[in-house]
Each structure stands twice: as C-alpha cells, then as structure tokens.
Structure 1
Amino acid sequence: MKVFYRERLNGYYGVSVFIVSNFLSSFPFLAVVTLTKSLMMVVASLVPNFLMGIITGAGIMGILMMTSGFFRLLPDLPKPFWRYPVSYLSYGSWGIQGAYKNDFIGLEFDPMIPGDQKLTGDFIIQHMFGIPIDHSKWWDLAAIVAILVSYRVLFFVILKFKENALPLFQTLYAKRTLQQLDKRPSFRKVPSISSKRHQPLHSLSSQEGLNSPLQ
C-alpha cells in the first residue's frame, strides 16, 4: 500500500484503476488457490482428523507435482500408471502445457550455432519440453476448469454418501458389537437368585393374626 499511496500522490493513477488492476493481476493466483483448496476439501471429507488430512493431502499433491512435466518430461514418465492416467488427472500438467504454449508459440529464437536456422517456439515446445501442440492453450484451460468442477462434484457426492450411509454403518456396527458381547460368558444373561432375607418363611396370608413387634 505504500507504493500505491506514493504513486497516488504523484498522480500516476486513481483508486479505481488500482483496484481493477490489482484484481485482474491476482485473479489467476486466486483461481489456483481455489483449485488446490477444492482438492484438499475432498481429502478432508475422507479422513477422520486433520493430521491424516495433512499427510494424505501432501502425498497427493506430491504425486500431482511429480507428474506435471516439470521435474520430468511427460514423454519420459512411465506409461502404465504415471503417464496414464495420473498425468491427465494432474491440474499442474495441464497448467504447464498451457503456460508453455502461451509463452512460446509464435516466437523465434537465435540458433545455438551461428548460421543455422532460427528456433521456433513450436519446435522448442515439442522437442525440448515434449509437449504436444495438437490442441490449443484454451483446451488446457478448459481441462483445468473441468478438474475444478469435478473436485467440487466429488466433494458433494462424498458428503451426501456419508450423510446417508453413515447411520446405516453405525447401526450395523452396533448390532455386531452386541452380538459379540452376547457370546462372552461375562455378558450372558444368568437368572438372578433372590436373597433369603426377601423370602419369608410364611406367606402374608398366614401372618394376618400376628401382632406387630412395635405394639
């Protein structure tokens, strides 16, 4: 804010321009935060406590980062699991592909050896980064939005399932626990034996003529 106050005093721009530009520059990062939070909400709905959520979320985030194409190129990933389908489920993979296409396509670079042909952005993306250019960057953005929506839908489905199925599981668990308790000797129903002090020698009808000891 100090920069804004100083530049505002110098008359460089007004308050409305600052607010709009700040929002537009922060919006992509806010969208990424929303995407990450959606994934963590799915994890939070599956684990019993926050410690398990931290451990599980960190593991999932690590897997998505390793298959994004940053640490290792996408063509070099093992295909049975890491390439198909994990890299296609990673929003980082789609984000990096879209960012490279946005930055490199349409550019030309000087060759590494003087006299050779110039390097195009398409050549660098395909041969150096191993990223296919058969689809545009907008397709990558659409894939990220689809992943975001799928996280929210999955979060909703998990909560509804737990809301409807949890009472049923609790009832089944309670019945099973009671059955196990009934099998234990200490919990079996044994007929109670009354004490002799509560068994008078004569019935009450035979004691009608007796005098009270308090008289």
Structure 2
Amino acid sequence: MMLNGGFFRLPDDLPNPFWKYPMYYIAFHKYANQGFYKNEFQGLTFPNNIAGGPPTITGEEILKNTWQVETGYSKWIDVAILFGMVILYRLMFFGILKLVEKVKPIIKAAFAASPRQSKLISENPSSSLPDEARA
C-alpha cells in the first residue's frame, strides 16, 4: 500500500485505472502525509529562488505544485479520516474473528465426518451363543 498510497510517488504520477482511484484513496499514507504537509506548510512564506518569479512563495503554492496535496479540506479532516480507518479496521478485524469463531467448528465438523461405514458382523464360533444355536 505504500507505493500506491503516494508515499514514494506523487499522485499525478500514479497510473489512473487501478492504482490511483481505488487504492490511492483507501491508503492511509495519503491522509497521513497530506495532514503532515498541511501542518508544516500552510500559512508560511518562503523565499523564491526561481528566476523571474515572485520574491516569495507561499506554503499553499508548495503544497499544490510541489507535493500535489489536496488543500480543499483541513488537516484535521485528514486526522479524522485516519482515526476512522483505525476504528473501521478494528471493527473489520473483530468481525472476522467472530466469523472464524462461528464457522471454524462447522468446517472442522464437515471435514471430520467420514462416510458411514457399514457394520461388519464377524462370525466367531467361540462366541457366547448357547450350544443349541451352534449346532
């Protein structure tokens, strides 16, 4: 999930069909990195070393242009999404545990049940039958 979460690649560099749309948005790294970058860069100004550009550049411009961070919402939304993921994943894990707890005995019983064997009656002349029945 680290590669498709934008941890090593910028969002615009990810291939669109699979990696960006479902995977990028469910990866926790997206929200952790964006929240971190928003916390560090928003509201700041930096000197601009690009020739012909303005003397300063804002943190919002760095977020949008360099790091390709979505600035349409607050860093606290990113934190809330991360906590929501923690709760959701714990609930999913709990559900899986309960499901396995219920289904595992059924599966064990299905595999343990062998086909019914016919009862074999062996004839033993020295059995405890009366003498009249043996003759």
Q: Does TM-score exceed 0.5, indicating one fold?
A: yes
Q: What residue in structure 1 maps to residue 63 of structure 2?
A: 125
1:141 aligns with 2:79: yes
Q: What residue in structure 2 maps to residue 203 of structure 1?
A: 132
CA shift, 1:73, in A, is 0.5
Mapped partners of 1:152, 1:199: distance in 2: 66
SS in 2 for 1:203: helix
Mapped partners of 2:89, 2:98: distance in 1: 14
**Larger CA deviation: 93-102 vs 156-165:** 156-165
1:1-215 alignment, distance < 5 Å: 64-114=1-51, 116-117=53-54, 118-175=56-113, 178-179=114-115, 189=118, 191-198=120-127, 203=132
Contact kept, 8 Å, 1:68 with 1:96, in 2: the verdict is no
CA shift, 1:85, in A, is 1.6
Aligned length: 133
Mapped partners of 1:163, 1:193: distance in 2: 43
The one-letter code of the counterpart of 1:155 is F
The one-letter code of the counterpart of 2:44 is L
Mapped partners of 1:87, 1:125: distance in 2: 18
Mapped partners of 2:127, 2:105: distance in 1: 46
Gaps of 5+ in 1: 1-63, 183-187, 207-215
Contact kept, 8 Å, 2:5 with 2:23, in 1: the verdict is no
Q: Which deviations, in whole Å up to 9, do the C-alpha atoms of 1:25-65 show, x marking residues without a partner?
A: xxxxxxxxxxxxxxxxxxxxxxxxxxxxxxxxxxxxxxx21
TM-score by length of 1: 0.54
% same residue: 33
TM-score by length of 2: 0.82
Larger helix percent = 1
Q: What residue in structure 2 maps to residue 39 of structure 1?
A: none
Q: 1:94 to 1:199 in 2, by over 3 A?
A: closer
Q: Which deviations, in whole Å up to 9, do the C-alpha atoms of 1:93-139 show, x marking residues without a partner?
A: 10000111111111122222355212211111111111111111111
Q: Which deviations, in whole Å up to 9, do the C-alpha atoms of 1:161-206 show, x marking residues without a partner?
A: 112222222222223xx13xx5xxxxx5363442445599x528x9
Gaps of 5+ in 2: none
CA shift, 1:80, in A, is 2.3
CA shift, 1:70, in A, is 2.5
SS in 2 for 1:66: coil
The one-letter code of the counterpart of 1:113 is I
Mapped partners of 2:73, 2:79: distance in 1: 11
SS in 2 for 1:84: helix
Mapped partners of 1:87, 1:113: distance in 2: 31
